[in-house]
Amino acid sequence: MKSEFTSAFQRGLVSCGDCHLLSRWPQGGSKINAICPRCGSKLHQRKPNSISRTWALLLTAMMLYIPANILPMTLTSKFGKTQADTIMSGIVYFIGNGSWGIALVVFSASIFVPLAKFLILIYLLLSVQFNQVWRPRDRSLLYRAIEAIGRWSMVDIFVVTVTVAMVKLGLLANVAAGPAAIYFAFVVVISMLATQSFDPRLIWDLVEEKG
Ligand SMILES: [Zn+2]
């Protein structure tokens, strides 16, 4: 079946990553050192080592997600007593307090979104590695979703900051961000980098190859 679409790759063209100039991909053995004729930047038809880089970053983010959940996110001290709260115990605390809205925001930003991101990236990586041509449009959509949602994961850090500020203004207790906040910030940044290093065009290359 001949597709109605043609990619730059199929036409032997490559777009410069820096200045977006479209140039002819060199034929023969000089591909490794191909440079953009206009700005001199290195040319790549696809993001280099996309699959292994994405796996490495994803696994790092997943490992950091463990201390982010086990260690305390907030340290509250009141009348000389200090209470450490993890993400999960924080959610339970907000629910107990009747603050359903905050509980929901913390749950989506710190539990639901990161886990959904991990699972989607694992699925995309495996689908490309195992040469799947199944529903490429939907897989592209999943990719765009995690790309768009990435920056919102920082909402959780904001919630911590706001809680700290609220409690301090209320003079009820003294609150400080716990060590989990740092791990969580790394999880957010590294999983964003993992998403960036995945090349969604790989999904379509397989479709073109098999089509
Ligand atoms: Zn260029």
Lookup: tokens for 47 = 């993001």
Identify the pLDDT of residue 72.
92
DSSP, collapsed to helix, strand or coil, labels residue 41 as coil
Cα–ligand 1 centroid distance for 16 (angstroms): 5
Identify the pLDDT of residue 29.
56
Cα–ligand 1 centroid distance for 13 (angstroms): 13
Cβ neighbours around 135 below 10 Å, total: 13
The DSSP output letter for 42 is: B
Strand partners, 99: none
Amino acid type, 138: D
The answer to whether residues 206 and 131 touch, using CB atoms and an 8 Å cutoff, is: yes
- Dihedral class, residue 171 (left if φ above 0, else alpha if ψ from -120 to 50, else beta): left
Cβ neighbours around 78 below 10 Å, total: 12
**Concatenated DSSP letters of 119-140:** HHHHHHHHHHHTT--S-HHHHH
Cα–ligand 1 centroid distance for 169 (angstroms): 52
Query: How far is the C-alpha of 95 from the C-alpha of 2, rounded, in Å?
Result: 56
Cα–ligand 1 centroid distance for 37 (angstroms): 7
**Architecture of the domain spanning 47-210:** Up-down Bundle (1.20)
Cα–ligand 1 centroid distance for 38 (angstroms): 5
Cα–ligand 1 centroid distance for 82 (angstroms): 56
Lookup: tokens for 198 = 């995945």
Cβ neighbours around 73 below 10 Å, total: 28
Q: Smallest Cα–Cα separation from 74: which of 155, 171, 157, 187?
A: 157
pLDDT in tens, the chain (211 residues): 456 788 888 888 999 989 999 999 887 655 567 899 999 999 998 998 999 999 999 999 999 999 999 999 888 887 778 888 898 988 898 898 888 988 888 888 889 889 999 999 999 999 999 988 889 999 999 999 999 887 777 776 777 777 766 666 666 677 788 899 899 889 989 999 999 999 999 999 988 887 6
Identify the pLDDT of residue 1.
46
Cα–ligand 1 centroid distance for 128 (angstroms): 28
Q: Which residues surround ligand 1, an ion (CB under 5 A)?
A: 16, 18-19, 21, 36, 38-39, 41
What is the CA angle 193-196-199, rounded to 5? 140
In the chain, domain spans: 1-45, 47-210
Q: Smallest Cα–Cα separation from 120: which of 42, 200, 53?
A: 200
DSSP, collapsed to helix, strand or coil, labels residue 90 as helix
Cα–ligand 1 centroid distance for 146 (angstroms): 28
